[in-house]
Amino acid sequence: MQNHTLTEAQLLSGWGRFPVVYSELVSPYSVAEAITWFSKTKTISCRGNGRGYGDCALNAQSIMSSLGLNYFHSFDASTGLLVAGAGVTLAQVLSIMVPRGFFLSVTPGTKYASLGGAVAADVHGKDHHLAGTFSNSVEYIELITATDGLVRCSRTERSDLFFATLGGMGLTGFIVTVALCLKPIPSAYVQQTTITCGCLREIMDCFLEHQDVTYSVSWIDCLQQSEKKRGRSLFMAGEFAADEVLPVMHRRIQHQGQVFYNEPHHLKVPFDFPSWVLNRYSVRAFNSVYFHKTLGRHCVKNVVPIDPFFYPLDAILDWNRIYGHNGFTQYQFVLPLESSLEGITAILKAIANSGKGSFLTVLKLFGAHNNHQREPLTIVSHSPTAQAEERSRGGYLSFPQQGFTLALDFAIEPSLFALLSTLDDMVRDYGGRIYLAKDSRMSAANFRAMYSRNGSDDCLDRFLQVKAHYDPHNLFSSLQAQRLGLMV
């Protein structure tokens, strides 16, 4: 058996490259090696492929990576059930499963997240309004806890631990195995419709009118000062393309029943961009060019491969270097449906007035999934409706709530933090919350206020109770957990 790999202490960060810590990185290649290491340390954080943006997987003493646990256990084509190590990335899943005609039931905007990271952040995608978060496809999880060692949890087995681990940011234990259901697909192409929208109200109406379409997302120009044009957008909706609409060379019948999947070539950012490259003028110029990509046409329909539709930024490796050596923060929040128009309009106005434009601003619609109830559901029948209701329960700390979610990227510079603190207060006051997987500087007070409303206060308390039971001495910790008070 291969011994665990222990690197020298090194500088580590999340994908946003802010903040940075000096810590040991441990990469076990087996469950036994991981358990052995836990007996040697007092505190450790859990890390997948480092796609969490902020400090959610950082610890100043030691960090354990799951990338050594990157093996596939089993796959049942009749049910779509895949069992794999937590260190397997979504890209590895796609590389093997798309040619077989299967795709992730829910996928975030990058395929370089690990399965363990996708569970810990309970990631969401362009289909949340219909499919919910990643947790909806998860059948069970195996993780190493501080008190009980290696355990399995699911909706029916140690369910409290299951729901605390979904979206629990790695604070309940070290995830080693994930069992999830994949969905069958007819091809590796998407029939995409792009609609030009002139303002925020128009784009929100467009989302609501296309709620029956599986995938939808919108790019927003966040620097518009004009009241009439604020929130001008490109709305993109899509469905997997049927075999018969594809060119003959890409149809399954031509490839012995295999889905034709041509993984794209990648560009790479070879160095950190100077800090002055991204400013209000360059961002405004990019936004103008991007907005006019449809060449003035209101609606454009075409067929595109899955990678540019689901993972456009993955085409450029190390794209986070564009923001310079100081790094960046991705600021993602969700507001309730009833306050989304007013709240996002006010937030976009505050951003435009600050001149700190986001290079990429993305809007999505969340459905009524993943709002965890105060009392456990009692399933009295095996009807599809009852089972779907049980499956749609998110984790105790899952991010989504019904409404619109906006994600913005800001280069780190000293004057940014005052703006972000102002935005935090606005999000809180409009009844929203900030995504923990993207957060790097939210206050504990605002976290408690955002995650303690509409019955979710009970969920936060339940999470802390589970944390106290399975990790009473805070073996699993992170800079984010310490900052937000997610310790016992």
Pair type for strands 20-27 and 62-65:
parallel
Among residues 291, 113, 262, 271, the alpha carbon closest in space to that of 199 is found at 291
Domains of the chain: which residue ranges?
72-184, 189-367+402-442
CATH superfamily of 189-367+402-442: ACT domain (3.30.70.260)
The yes-or-no verdict on residue 51 having pLDDT over 70 is yes
Contact, 397 vs 436, CB < 8 A? yes
Beta bridge partners of 363: 218, 406
Listed in order, strand segments (DSSP E) in 367-467 are: 403-411, 433-434
Judge whether 453 and 123 are in contact, CB under 8 Å. no
Q: What rounded mean pLDDT belongs to the chain?
A: 89
pLDDT at 380 over 60: no
Mean of pLDDT values over 66-80 = 97
Cα 480 from Cα 348, distance rounded (Å) = 26
Residue with the two structure tokens 């076990």: 28
CA distance 343 to 337: 10
The 10s digit of each residue's pLDDT in 396-409 is 999 999 999 999 99
**DSSP letter, residue 352:** H
Contacts of 222 (CB under 8 A, 6+ apart): 287, 348, 351, 352, 357, 358, 361, 408
Q: Measure the CA–CA gap between 246 and 259, rounded to whole angstroms.
A: 11
Instruction: Determine if the pTM surpasses 0.85.
Output: yes
pLDDT tens-digit readout, 138-171:
999 999 999 999 999 999 999 999 999 999 999 9
The helix (H) or strand (E) run that includes residue 302 is: strand 299-305
Residue 176 CB neighbour total at 10 angstroms: 21
Closest CA to 417 of 326, 346, 321, 344: 326
Evaluate whether 223 touches 281 at the Cβ level (below 8 Å). no
Architecture of domain 72-184: 2-Layer Sandwich (3.30)
Is the model more confident about 239 or about 269?
239
